[in-house]
Structure 1
Amino acid sequence: MASKLHQMQAKATQVSNYMLKNGSAYYKQLIEKNKQHIRDPPTVETCQNLAKQLFYTRLASIPVRYEAFWKELDYFKHLLKHRHELKIEDAGIAALFGLECFAWFCAGEITGRGFTLTGYHV
């Protein structure tokens, strides 16, 4: 056990030294590569302004998304009315989508219970 701890400490020291030597160059390269996304001046006020713009832009997009939702719902109602025209491929895709939603629900439930299958902590 002590040898594993010593190995981990040595590896951590190695990584720390590497970051100390190359971290600044990596940061500069990253900033240069993504320069088009940086707003000048890069201040707290600019960040707060951008956060407000993002919030209100998303708020303004709600009616468009609401309308798109109702169009999708109308399309689904149309499919239900004309289900005799439904192709097997479309039914398969719908079944796979439903199965995926159920799987994500189950994964969320398991995660919420602390990664236990029964809900009891052992």
Structure 2
Amino acid sequence: MASSLRNLQSKAGQASQFVAKHGTAYYKQLLEQNKQYIQEPATVEKCNLLSKQLLYTRLASIPGRREAFSKEVDYVKQLWKNKQDLKVEDASIAALFGLECFAWFCAGEIIGRGFTFTGYYV
């Protein structure tokens, strides 16, 4: 246990050294590549305008999202009606999706408890 902790500390130290060495260059490169998205001048008024645009754009996209969701639900209903024609690939994709939903639920529960594992004694 102690050796794995030292190993983890060593790797964390190496990662922080790498970030300290290359972080500034990466930051400048990232800004240069995405300069078309940078709003000049960056004023409070402009930031408020952009946040309102984002909010109302997202609100305007809700009907389209709802329509796409209803199409997906209709597709699943159709699959359920014809479950005898269900292929192994479709069943495995559905099982993986269910497993992923369960994993996200478990992760959310752990995060909600403050990253504590209840019922386990370590």
* Two-structure CA RMSD over aligned residues (Å): 2.9
Q: Which amino acid aligns with 2:98?
A: G
The Cα of 1:100 is off from its aligned counterpart by: 1.2
Larger Rg: 1
TM-score (norm. length: structure 1) = 0.69
Other-structure match for 1:72: 72
Name the CA distance, whole Å, in 2 between partners of 1:59 and 1:111: 28
Q: Is the 8 A contact 1:110 1:116 kept in 2?
A: yes
1:115 Cα offset (Å):
2.6
Query: 1:89 & 1:60 partners in 2: Cα distance?
Result: 35
Counterpart in 2 of 1:51?
Answer: 51
Which stretches in structure 1 are left out of the alignment for 5+ residues?
1-10
For the 8 Å contact 1:113–1:119, the answer to whether it is kept is no
Shifted more, 46-55 versus 25-34: the winner is: 25-34
After superposition, the C-alpha distances for 1:33-72 in whole angstroms (9 at most, x for unaligned) are 3221122332221111111111100000011111111111
Q: Point out the more displaced range, 110-119 or 53-62.
A: 110-119
Unaligned runs of 5+ in 2: 1-12
- SS in structure 2 at match of 1:40: coil
TM-score by length of structure 2 reads: 0.69
Partner of 1:104: 104
How many pairs does the alignment contain? 104
Q: Identity, % of aligned pairs?
A: 69
Tell me by how many angstroms 1:96 deviates.
1.0
Aligned to 1:94: 94
Measured after TM superposition, the shift of residue 101 of structure 1 is 0.8
Q: Which residue of 1 aligns with 2:37?
A: 37
8 Å contact 1:110–1:117 — kept in the other structure? yes
- Partners of 2:92 and 2:27 in 1: how far apart? 48
